[in-house]
Amino acid sequence: MENAATRLAAICANIARVCKPARRDTADVTLIAVSKTHDAPAIQPLIDAGQRVFGENRVQEAQGKWPALREGHQDIALHLIGQLQSNKAEEAVELFDVIHSLDRASLLSALAKAMDKTGRRVPCFVQVNIGDEPQKGGCPIAELPAFLAAARSADVPLAGLMCIPPADTEPAPFFAYLAKLAADNGLTGLSMGMSGDYETAVMLGATHVRVGTALFGERQGA
Ligand X SMILES: *Cc1c(COP(=O)(O)O)cnc(C)c1O
Q: What residues line the site for ligand X (CB under 6 A)?
A: 34, 36, 57, 81-82, 164, 194-195, 210-214
Measured CA to CA in angstroms, residue 159 lies from 14, 39, 79, 99, 163 at distances of 24, 28, 12, 9, 13
**For ligand X, which is the closer residue by CB, 34 or 206?**
34
**For ligand X, which is the closer residue by CB, 47 or 209?**
209
Q: Which of 195, 210, 15 has its CA nearest to residue 99?
A: 210
**For ligand X, which is the closer residue by CB, 52 or 152?**
52
Beta carbons of 139 and 166 less than 8 angstroms apart: no
Instruction: For 186-207, give the secondary structure using H, E and C.
Output: CCCEEECCCCCCHHHHHHCCCC
Please list the residues that pair with 139 across neighbouring strands: 128
CB of 48 to ligand X, least distance (A): 21
CB of 85 to ligand X, least distance (A): 15
**For ligand X, which is the closer residue by CB, 88 or 210?**
210
CB of 74 to ligand X, least distance (A): 25
CB of 47 to ligand X, least distance (A): 18
**For ligand X, which is the closer residue by CB, 63 or 195?**
195
CB of 218 to ligand X, least distance (A): 8
- Indicate the residue whose CB is closest to ligand X: 212
